Structure 1
Amino acid sequence: MTDTSTKTTVLLTLSMLKGVGPAALRNVAQIPFFEEEGILELLAQLPRNAGANIDASAISAAVAEAGRQSDMAQSAGARIISTADPEYPSLLKRTKDDPQILFVKGKLAEAPEKSVAIIGTREPTEHGKIIANRLTKFFVEEGWSVVSGLALGCDALAHEAALDAGGHTVAVLAHGLQTVAPSRHKKLAARILESGGALVTEYKFGQEPLPTNFVKRDRIQAGFAQGVVMVQSDLVGGSLHASRASIGYGRWLAVPFPTDLDVSRSEPKIQANLLLADGTPKEKAALLKCEQRDLERIITLRSKSDYARMLGTQHPAEPQPAPVQEPIGDLFSISPAAAYTSAPIAAPTLPPVQPPPKVNRVNQILLEHIKMVEEQLEVYHRGFVEHGREIDQNNHYQQLMRDFDQLQESLRRVRELEFTLVQEQKVQQP
């Protein structure tokens, strides 16, 4: 098994430190020859919040944990890679959500540029099952790798169809490689590995699945691929996370049109497909949380003759957010404690560059909100698992997930702004 590279070992160690998140790791990875510097020296080059309250004992513990993770990867026949390694998937690296560390078991696609994510509801209709198999077989015959999430329903159908057709498939997981969830898919996971495919996750060994992990998992699926095929989904389904991410990355989204039978039955699991195929531009943009100009990248599959459109669609450069003039001090008008006694949190937007103190204040507010939402999500998760209820059928849970997405994106943008301001200040110093 391939040893972990020096650069990846440094990034892995930093990732074990409290307060060092994806944005900080991304900044480190951009420093020339960062692997030759010490941990303290690297922390000193990050925004103040990233390396706050980290002492020698914390660094020692992080080094030990990074070594333990490497040992567990070796024992499991897996490997740890980062954006600094040539093997890191090129399509994923181009996205704004690329995790700096990936835990990989098995073989990634030899031609990663030819990858498609095929995802959908856990409860497809009979037509949905047929379409999942048909589309997967189409891409395998064209030499593409099929990416999905090993979930029940459409995900499993896509993996199985790819294997049955002799193709390559990658399962993106929402937990560490020490387990497989759902447990009924352990045999499917083993078959993926035996057939030359891969299991991939951004989560370290020992991490169990949590609700928020699945949202990130869905984005990574989209990041791995040229585009996403959303086989079937209702209007609040988890499949929309990957669909929105694909559009957000400037890539395409393919939506099979439902059969007359499913339409006549008003099947709930086809409602997102119907809206994205025949809804108004305003309705489509609202569902995908995108600009109306992005809707041109939706491919409606009404017959087999439409399939070729997916092969010839290359994604352009990732769209950049338009500048917003809203003052940074007005991003939040409510306190974290009052957040869920009033209207849902709106996604904050960034203003022109402001002094670092204000940025730090917004950064802290966002962190407080995210912590609160994560705590509520974890309570929901434990309760639903205990009582056997379906998480994604609860409206309040869905609103929490949407708020969490918005807050994570806002925090990422605030931290990027903070880093830019710090770098500008360094340049201006005599």
Structure 2
Amino acid sequence: MRLPLPDDDDPPGRDRASDQRALIGLSLVSGVGPQRLRALLAAFETPSAIFRASRSTLTQVDGVGEQTAEAILTFDDRASVRHEMERADDLGASLVSPWDERFPNRLREIYDPPAFLWMRGTLPESDRPMVTVVGTRRCTDYGRTQAHHFGAELARRGFTVVSGLAYGIDAAAHKGALDAGGRTIAVLGSGIGRIYPQKHTALAERIAESGAVLSEYGLDAEPDAPHFPERNRIVSGLALGTLVVESHAEGGALITARLAVEQNREVFAVPGAITKNSSRGTNRLIQRGHAKLVLEVEDMLEELPAVTVKEPGDVDADTVTAGSGPDPSGLSGDASVLYDALSATPVHVDELCEETGLDPSTALPTLLKLEFNGLVRQLAGKQFRRS
């Protein structure tokens, strides 16, 4: 569905400010959701022209019946439009319309691009590569660690990391990119004035400082269930490829992966334990040839289109703060032995003792000291992994 390009010839006398107000007004008309709004914009030259159209012309647009046409023709709620614009000012938000040069070019390529985007923050330039990282909300510590790792490594190589701000994998990927001093974009299933989940409000603030928080819904739109699978086409459409870190047999991450395939994007997956339900979806993607198995970020770079990306050490030193972490180089004795035996994958203390030859009476106090120094994290059931 073709939307206007920023360099399209403007119709005579076109008023961009009026078009923006008309676009906001259309988003407030009862019965005109994102899908119908896209159809209307594809059928008429400008948003303002939609309000000037006749009933018979409106009903010729796919999905627009008599009731919706009547709602458009009778809409005259200037106060609501004014309120939405004032609300945007309060939030520091801006409307990115299809004729705006900021509108992401890759979104123009998909079948059903958003009719507009509310945005807090800034979008990267069109030639800056993006990669999507998604997964289950009910992730394991392994999945959360891998999402943070890949988010950070992609950011260090110059990629903008895209995700959905959800609990679990999404949040870990956003944080990984931020901790590495990189950029990330969150695409919401609610309005950007109603962050969901609410506990991620502070994370959304961090994202907007260097990247962007986006939504195709009204500024204070509720996080309705249908919004989340709808927004996934934007999550995948923004990027060159989608990485699924951890997914159950069904879930939003698999929807995003399917959409990425339909949009002719690359799909990658991080394998997980075959005994874990949280890895059933990702393992199936790999098994069925729907995704490339990824062990490290270089596996993704082999498949992505040729782009100019940064090497791991190219991020400015003064931007890498939270990602620096404690330094294990000064460890010695039992502490060094135990730390070397650990990885990002949690392991039980009995297995550590068997591998290192240390007694539990020696290993446990040493592990607790490493945890106190920020080098090791203890999980439930006396399992440990590197921080």
TM-score range (shorter-chain normalised) is 0.5 to 0.7
Q: Structure 2 counterpart of 1:60, which letter?
A: D
RMSD of aligned alpha carbons: 2.6
Residue 203 of structure 1: aligned partner: 217
1:140 aligns with 2:155: yes
Partner residue in 1 for 2:304: 311
> Does the alignment pair 1:180 with 2:195?
yes
The yes-or-no answer on 1:122 pairing with 2:134 is no
Paired residue for 2:279, among 254, 270, 274?
Answer: 270
Q: Deviations over 1:105-137 (max 9, x none)?
A: 111122465111111112333332232122212
| Structure 1, unpaired ranges of 5+ | 282-294, 315-430
Letter in 1 for 2:76: S
Give the corresponding residue for 2:29: 17
- What is the distance in 1 between the residues matched to 2:279 and 2:50? 53
| Counterparts in 2 of 1:127 and 1:23: CA distance versus 1, 3 Å | closer
2:169 is aligned with 1:154: yes
Cα–Cα, structure 1 residues 43 and 248, in superposed 2: closer, same or farther, change >3 Å?
Answer: farther
Q: Which structure has more helix as a fraction of its residues? A: 1
* Structure 1 residues 38 and 187: CA distance shift in structure 2, 3 A: closer
Deviations 1:149-206 (A, max 9, x none): 1111111111111111111111111111222221221111111123x11111111022
The answer to whether the 8 Å contact 1:102/1:202 transfers is: yes
Unaligned stretches of 5+ in structure 2? 1-14, 308-387
The answer on whether the counterparts of 2:44 and 2:50 sit within 8 Å (CA) in structure 1 is no
Q: Residues 194 and 221 of structure 2 are in contact (CA less than 8 Å); yes or no, is this contact kept in structure 1? A: no
TM-score where L is the length of structure 1: 0.61
Native 8 Å contact 1:255 1:276 kept in 2: yes
Per-residue deviation at 1:307? 2.9
Whether the aligned pair in 2 keeps the contact of 1:113 and 1:225 (CA below 8 Å) is: no
State the partner residue of 1:232: 246
Q: Which residue of 297, 300, 307 maps to 2:293?
A: 300
Q: Does 1:131 align with 2:146?
A: yes
| Corresponding position of 1:252 | 266
The Cα shift of 1:273 comes to: 1.6
- 2 CA distance for matches of 1:43 and 1:144? 47
DSSP-derived class of the 1:66 partner: helix
Query: How is 1:25-424 mapped onto 2 (pairs within 5 angstroms)?
Result: 25-30=37-42, 33-34=45-46, 37=49, 39-41=51-53, 44-48=56-60, 50=64, 52-53=66-67, 54=70, 58-61=74-77, 63-111=78-126, 113-194=128-209, 196-258=210-272, 262-263=273-274, 266-279=275-288, 295=290, 298-303=291-296, 305-312=298-305
CA distance in 1, matches of 2:134, 2:148: 11
Change (3 A) 1:300 1:207: same
Q: Shift of residue 303 of structure 1?
A: 4.8
Distance 1:39 1:57 in 2: 6
Identical columns (%): 30
Question: Take 1:243 and 1:141, find their aligned partners in 2: how far apart are those partners?
Answer: 24
